[in-house]
A and B are shown apart, each in its own frame.
Chain A
């Protein structure tokens, strides 16, 4: 979103001085369809940040009661 806002003044300069309607912000659906791409990239990154020895780590996460 921030990147789009920064680009708008540039594209206006190039086109014309008339008030062109601004591009509508990406709908949630469009954002999500972008999000379905690059899943492999994401998983590769997460592979690198997951704690080592998943089984032991999950087993050791024991909490006392709360509200």
Chain B
């Protein structure tokens, strides 16, 4: 791969629209109803272990692979400096493997629990996996997290993000089938309504040449307002949810700053973590922490699709020239107003609604897409036109007939269900049953999760069908380096000792030292470039020798 020349046509995506290298991260809420005091990190490790056991059965030699931490740089700030480790909050130190070794577990939980849990060969619980679909599944703080493989467009992110929900479901089933373990539920939400929030992050690849100040100015008004199309809805207001009522966003009340490096404390609208996971002088990975986790496919699609469009506007210097006065307060005021009439003040003096600002971005994005040709029905990129059309129709509905958006916009879907209960049973907003509806909306089990009950009745629109999502559980995207990573894991799992976003490490019998294959270009390692090599070789040794141009194995 490293021998290929720069700039092959297949390694560039069309510019100006909704195509972009991107990925999602979901931290799941975790709860064992029969063991309410259970340690969340231990439960999360059981979830990862459950998937390791499942994939061992699926792929000969074991599909589970350890994470390689070499290129993690959580303290690099996009504004151009690095935080001293001693000054960082411990939760920011994500570059050290969170392996619970046998001694730590024994100290914390007693040896009996360790033995009952089944540790792997090295005596430590598996906390981190790379999956055959190119994703990462691991314990992040006190939650299991699924990080999707890199994809190139919003339709694929919907598929590979929803695949993570199926992975989560598989682990829940596996744990439930073990009579020695308490059943564990996983929820795709962002708060326990008791002052704790956990994230759903987005990642977008951008050229490093774009000044970070342009990103902050261009994105802030958009992030303050995009919740009206992709908020997941939340019962209760304030970080502890104690003020009754319904609001648009799960996350809005947990944001306290405009720009910053932190993700767990003083959360900022624009996060400055600068870990490119790619060639650092060419790219930055924009790490977005303000979104809600979405089950609604349309909300998820628009969340990624419209953000990708806005990044294209920023890169072209065509983002609307507006600035919101006190954006954190505006973010929360908009979230708290389901009538969509709340206004924020712009620095030019105008007072505008969230929809007004969304229309400004829509108009600018549609204009740029037309100029660059990416939204053309015949010669366009095949994605931008659809994102623009759905964005426009959704904004139109939100302005004229919000009930009409209840089959697509997640907060409206959830609110319609809560309103149904309120009307039928005369419930107040603080009724515990409504709290349960809000929580159980996001249960990953289709028989329990209320989103899935709505989906099964065709009350929620789909972007991708179930077969596509099921395929994405086991198959990587074909058009990014995730293809190479996933295929290495699923084809040569027993010879892969580690992998990360930008490397795969082999330990192959007969090749002396560990072989680290860098994958620092996100649009290489695709099926077009490496598929023939995977199909040609049955063993990791032969595969690696051809890939790296090593001498053929000596005759036995």
Give 14 new A-B contacts, CB below 8 A, not counting A51-B33, A63-B192. A28-B393, A28-B407, A31-B458, A31-B461, A32-B404, A40-B424, A46-B417, A51-B440, A54-B436, A58-B439, A61-B29, A63-B196, A65-B141, A66-B27
List residues of chain B with CB within 8 A of the CB of A63: 29-31, 40, 142-143, 191-192, 194, 196, 198
**A23→B458 CA distance, assembly (Å):** 19
**Any A CB within 8 A of the CB of B360:** no
Closest 10 CB pairs between A and B?
Answer: A66-B198, A64-B142, A67-B199, A55-B432, A63-B192, A54-B436, A67-B263, A58-B435, A54-B432, A32-B404
Binding site of B, secondary structure by majority: helix, strand, loop or mixed? mixed
List residues of chain B with CB within 8 A of the CB of A45: 453
List residues of chain A with CB within 8 A of the CB of B537: none
Given A28-B393, A28-B408, A55-B432, do A65 and B198 touch, yes or no (CB 8 Å)?
yes
**Any B CB within 8 A of the CB of A62:** yes
Q: Kindly report which residue of chain B lies nearest to residue A36, judged by CB atoms.
A: B403
List residues of chain A with CB within 8 A of the CB of B198: 63, 65-67
Partner pick for B397 among A28, A51, A55, A65, CB 8 A cutoff: A28
Cβ proximity bits B434-477 to A, threshold 8 Å, 1 near / 0 not = 01110110000001101001100111011001000000000000
Partner pick for B459 among A35, A43, A55, A60, CB 8 A cutoff: A35
**Any A CB within 8 A of the CB of B405:** yes
Contact B264 A61 (CB under 8 A): no
List residues of chain A with CB within 8 A of the CB of B450: 46, 49
Q: Kindly report which residue of chain B lies nearest to residue A29, judged by CB atoms.
A: B404
Count contacts on B: residues with CB < 8 A to the other chain.
Answer: 57
**Any A CB within 8 A of the CB of B140:** yes
Contact B29 A42 (CB under 8 A): no
Interface residues of A in 25-58 (CB under 8 A from B): 28-29, 31-33, 35-36, 38-40, 42-43, 45-46, 49-51, 54-55, 57-58
List residues of chain A with CB within 8 A of the CB of B192: 61-63
**Any A CB within 8 A of the CB of B401:** yes
Q: Closest approach, in angstroms, between the C-beta of B388 and any C-beta of chain A?
A: 15
Q: Closest approach, in angstroms, between the C-beta of A51 and any C-beta of chain B?
A: 6
**A1→B461 CA distance, assembly (Å):** 10
- Offer 19 A-B interface pairs, CB within 8 angstroms, sorted by A: A31-B461, A32-B405, A43-B420, A50-B437, A51-B448, A57-B436, A58-B432, A58-B439, A60-B33, A62-B36, A63-B192, A64-B41, A64-B142, A65-B142, A66-B141, A66-B143, A67-B27, A67-B141, A67-B264
List residues of chain B with CB within 8 A of the CB of A51: 33, 436, 440, 448
Contact B407 A62 (CB under 8 A): no
**A50→B413 CA distance, assembly (Å):** 17
Residues of B within 8 A of A (CB): 27, 29-31, 33, 36, 40-41, 91, 140-143, 187, 191-194, 196-199, 201, 263-264, 289, 393, 397, 401, 403-408, 417, 420-421, 424, 432-433, 435-437, 439-440, 447-448, 450, 453-454, 457-459, 461-462, 465
Q: Closest approach, in angstroms, between the C-beta of A12 and any C-beta of chain B?
A: 24
List residues of chain A with CB within 8 A of the CB of B439: 57-58, 61
**A50→B199 CA distance, assembly (Å):** 25
Q: Closest approach, in angstroms, between the C-beta of A63 and any C-beta of chain B?
A: 4
**A58→B431 CA distance, assembly (Å):** 11
**A66→B194 CA distance, assembly (Å):** 13
**A46→B455 CA distance, assembly (Å):** 13
Q: Closest approach, in angstroms, between the C-beta of A16 and any C-beta of chain B?
A: 29
Contact A65 B440 (CB under 8 A): no
Given A55-B432, A58-B439, do A43 and B421 touch, yes or no (CB 8 Å)?
yes
Partner pick for B31 among A29, A36, A60, A65, CB 8 A cutoff: A60
Contact A50 B264 (CB under 8 A): no
